[in-house]
Structure formats: C-alpha cells, structure tokens
Amino acid sequence: MLLIDCPFCGKRNESEFVYGGPAMPARPADPSALDDAHWVDHLTVPPNPMGPVEERWWHLRGCGSWLTIRRDTVTHAIAEVRHGG
C-alpha cells in the first residue's frame, strides 16, 4: 500500500487516489517513420519499466487535485510528489 504525501492534504492512503497512468509518455519524434505495428504499440501498450517512473494520480477522495509522482516501481519508494503535470 502506498502512502502518498499530497501537497494539500498530507500523507494519505493510496485508496483515496485514482491512478492516472504514466506522466507524459515519450512521443516518437517522427510518428510517420513508424510502421503500423510500432505505432499501435506506442498507442496501446503502456510502459512498465523497473525503476523510477513518473505517474499521474488523482486525489479523488481528497482535494481533487491531479498530482505527478516520481516512484520506484521496484521498491515503491516515492521520491517526489508535485501538483499538476
């Protein structure tokens, strides 16, 4: 269970939040250069790296803010929480 330190509400259980996906996934520099299979992968397969990632979380059962969280997917340690994107 994650404990997310909302900048407005303080430390809260992740059950108060809704996962919003990866923050700003990298877009190919030249999408027209990709073949169909790679383009479909980019649009439909979310990245799932081991290590640090940036994610969007919505504090639905709290202040209603969208937060960006830098979290390690291996240890679940949260290094940074900031408001917005």
- State the nearest-atom distance from the C-beta of 50 to Zn ion, in Å: 28
**66: number of CA atoms within 13 Å, CB side?**
9
Residues in CB range of 76: below 8 A, 6 or more apart = 2
- State the nearest-atom distance from the C-beta of 41 to Zn ion, in Å: 34
- Residue 52 or 62 having the CB closest to Zn ion: 62
Site string for Zn ion, 7-36 (x = CB under 5 A): -xx---------------------------
Site for Zn ion in 44-83 (CB under 5 A): 59, 62-63
Q: Is 67 exposed, middle or buried (0-12, 13-18, 19+ CB in 10 A)?
A: buried
